[in-house]
Amino acid sequence: MTFFAPGRVNLIGEHTDYNLGFVLPIAIDLGCRATAEPLDSPRLEVHSVNRHEVRHWDLAALPDLVPSGDWTDYVLGVARLLPGLAPTRLTVESNVPTGSGLSSSAALEVSSALALGAAERGIDLARLCRRAENEFVGVPCGIMDQYASVAGVEGAALLIDCRSLEIRPVPLPSGLSILAVNSMVKHELGASAYSDRVRECNEAALSLGLSSLRDATAAQVESLDDPLIRRRARHIVAENQRVLDFAEASAAGDRQRLGRLFAESHLSMRDDYEISCPEIDFLVEAAGRAPGAAGSRMTGGGFGGCTVNLVQAGFEEAFEASVRQAYRDRFGIRCDVYRVRPSAGARQIDKKT
Ligand code: ADP
Ligand code: MG
């Protein structure tokens, strides 16, 4: 049986998911395909076509395995949570660029879980895959990536309330294309800085006597004593409001407001949350000077990866050429550009038997 699970581009709402706030991702048309075939011997065999690697484990050993710190953790993290796993050969193949903020990890987790026979669907499937990433991979991520991969809707963005877990599809204005521009850099700082931000937000919430920053007001945030903690919390509170404003402007077709919200979100990530980097800041500035530009900001966890860009339809090629040239002139790096479309969530892609 073969399942496909998409990656995602987060339009706006960065680092708000683990603060139980709002996010607005789209599932994209890039994703991971996972095929399961029965095996004779009692083991789990996993083949990553991308990595040209095959690894195997005795099924009986799965509960006691410790993470090995590589790609297999994503698959094993999921496999360990599935009761009565049958002997299986799992083949995974993805066209989501890895480590670029488009969530190749959630695509891998969700497609693997489905192919390995997980009974869960919808939010329960997203929760299972998030648990694998939190507990086995060791990334304290929120629910956004896995939920977007599971629940994607063709042609619409997903307004997710990360506390109630309610999802509302939000239409995007016609005549705008979404382009992800890959900086092709990922600064090492990323992994530890992510955990730092989670901790800093928890500290801010605790200081305010709240269980999460979801309920903090802008006035409360400005009362925080520690300037660093104050800036972190300021980003979260303002970003939550920007997600709601973006959803409203998108449904109303107000493109200028969309562009302004992208710009504000980027500055907030750069200056208050401090998760950008020179390459990404340059790509955002270069996008602003490119033909057809309607908005640009970093997307994903940060410290590299991709920017997400709104581009007037018909200008995609000119936009891409302009940004590519500028980036190459400045950093000597060829960036990849993906034109992405809001797509359906995870699904079986071979014939049901
Ligand atoms: P992102 O989710 O933004 O792509 P992450 O660091 O969260 O970045 O996840 C990337 C990791 O996921 C890769 O380094 C790799 O370990 C794993 N991964 C994703 N897709 C595959 C694949 N097809 N084969 C093997 N590993 C994969
Ligand atoms: Mg990831």
- Residue 347: predicted pLDDT: 98
- DSSP 8-state symbol, 335: P
Q: Atom 13 (ligand 1): residue with closest C-alpha?
A: 98
Q: Atom 7 (ligand 1): residue with closest C-alpha?
A: 105
Q: What is the pLDDT of residues 321-331, one digit of tens each?
A: 999 999 999 99
Distance CA 71, CA 69 (A): 7
CB of 98 shorter than 6 A to ligand 1: yes
CB of 299 shorter than 6 A to ligand 1: no
Asked whether residue 207 carries a pLDDT value surpassing 60, the answer given is yes
Q: Which ligand ends up closest to the CA of 7?
A: 1
- Residue 52: predicted pLDDT: 98
- Residue 352: predicted pLDDT: 66
CB of 146 shorter than 6 A to ligand 1: no
Assess if CATH 3.30.70.890 describes domain 173-340.
yes
CB of 4 shorter than 6 A to ligand 1: no
Q: Atom 24 (ligand 1): residue with closest C-alpha?
A: 48
pLDDT confidence tier of residue 188, bands split at 50, 70 and 90: confident
- Residue 191: predicted pLDDT: 79
- 21 Cβ neighbours under 8 A, 6+ residues apart: 13, 162, 163, 213, 214, 236, 239, 240, 243
Mean pLDDT of the chain, nearest integer: 97
Looking at residues 90-101, what average pLDDT do you find? 98
Asked whether residue 106 carries a pLDDT value surpassing 70, the answer given is yes
Amino acid at 43: R
- Residue 301: predicted pLDDT: 95
Centre of ligand 1 to C-alpha 52, Å, is 14
> To test the ligand 1 pocket, which listed residue (105, 109, 275) has its Cβ within 8 A of the most ligand atoms?
105
Amino acid at 103: S
Q: Which atom of ligand 1 is nearest to the CA of 102?
A: 3
Assess if CATH 2.40.50.140 describes domain 2-169.
no
Tally of helices (H runs) and strands (E runs) in the chain: 10, 12
Amino acid at 137: V
Compute, in degrees rounded to 10, the torsion defined by CA atoms 77, 49, 47, 187.
-30
| Domain spans, the chain | 2-169, 173-340
Looking at residues 302-307, what average pLDDT do you find? 97
Looking at residues 230-249, what average pLDDT do you find? 98
Distance CA 335, CA 237 (A): 32
- Residue 353: predicted pLDDT: 55
103 touches 8 (CB < 8 A): yes
Q: What is the pLDDT of residues 110-151, one digit of tens each?
A: 999 999 999 999 999 999 999 999 999 999 999 999 999 999
CB of 276 shorter than 6 A to ligand 1: no
Q: What is the pLDDT of residues 240-285, one digit of tens each?
A: 999 999 999 999 999 999 999 999 999 999 999 999 999 999 999 9
Centre of ligand 1 to C-alpha 141, Å, is 14
- Residue 190: predicted pLDDT: 72
Asked whether residue 316 carries a pLDDT value surpassing 60, the answer given is yes
Asked whether residue 155 carries a pLDDT value surpassing 70, the answer given is yes
Centre of ligand 2 to C-alpha 106, Å, is 6
Distance CA 348, CA 115 (A): 8
Q: What percent of the chain has pLDDT over 70?
A: 99
Catalytic residue positions, numbered: 145
Centre of ligand 2 to C-alpha 299, Å, is 12
Q: What is the pLDDT of residues 42-88, one digit of tens each?
A: 999 999 999 999 999 999 999 999 999 999 999 999 999 999 999 99
- Residue 351: predicted pLDDT: 77
Helices 72-79/104-115 angle, 10° precision: 40
